[in-house]
Chain A
Amino acid sequence: ETGVTQTPRHLVMGMTNKKSLKCEQHLGHNAMYWYKQSAKKPLELMFVYSLEERVENNSVPSRFSPECPNSSHLFLHLHTLQPEDSALYLCASSQGAGGSSDTQYFGPGTRLTVL
């Protein structure tokens, strides 16, 4: 199994739907991240979890709700999204929570389209 996997790879949802994105890492890392990449914009950090506790939350709207049940799994629950939330959502993991020596390993991303 490759390092960081994400499912689904593509998701189309309506504004009233509830869906979840899943990320799984097989690297034995302790930190996991959610990033958003909108068209023609830099990657934006959304959430950081270290040892299953949220340590960063960059003012993300409450319609995005993360969950980290254990150090290998990370979810992003989506509810009543807006069309401007359409983006590529990337998950990453690292050994520690973002210190200067921690390389992040990225998943392939979930391409989300909100209609």
Chain B
Amino acid sequence: KNEVEQSPQNLTAQEGEFITINCSYSVGISALHWLQQHPGGGIVSLFMLSSGKKKHGRLIATINIQEKHSSLHITASHPRDSAVYICAVISGSARQLTFGSGTQLTVLP
């Protein structure tokens, strides 16, 4: 079982819909990343958070340390949001990221 689980694995939405992607992890962490990977392969870091909530434009990330759970929300989704969204955690004693398998998001016009 992967230490980092994402759901759903695949998500198709209509333009304008509110989208939620979930990430659960089983180890103690010091921080969690949300990353976006476009079809060409390049990865962009969206958020790094260790508590509470962060917002950047139409993207919102929340984390609940007690429940070992984080969510990434996209408001007013757009076809250009189509990408793979990856959750990654930094565990307390290690210095490396452990990645989830990613959520493939497709937003249809």
Contacts and interface: CB of A to CB of B under 8 A. Distances in A.
B50 interface: yes
Given A108-B41, A108-B42, A99 B95 contact: yes
Interface in A76-105: 88, 90, 92, 97-101, 103-105
A90 B101 contact: no
A111 B39 CA distance: 12
A3 B8 CA distance: 31
Contacts, number: 61
Give the size category of B's interface with A.
20 to 34
Q: Which of B31, B43, B44, B101 has the most CB of A within 10 A?
A: B43
Given A48-B95, A90-B43, A103-B33, A40 B50 contact: no
Q: Which of B4, B42, B98, B101 has the most CB of A within 10 A?
A: B42
Given A88-B41, A90-B41, A111-B41, A104 B97 contact: yes
Contact of B45 (A41, A105, A109): A105
A98 B30 CA distance: 11
B63 interface: no
Interface residues of chain B: helix, strand, loop or mixed (majority):
strand
Contacts of B99: 42-44
Nearest to B40: A108
A49 interface: no
Contact of B97 (A41, A45, A105): A45
A55 interface: yes
Nearest to A43: B99
A106 B45 contact: yes
B95 A43 contact: no
A53 interface: no
Interface of A: 37, 40-45, 48, 55-56, 58, 88, 90, 92, 97-101, 103-109, 111
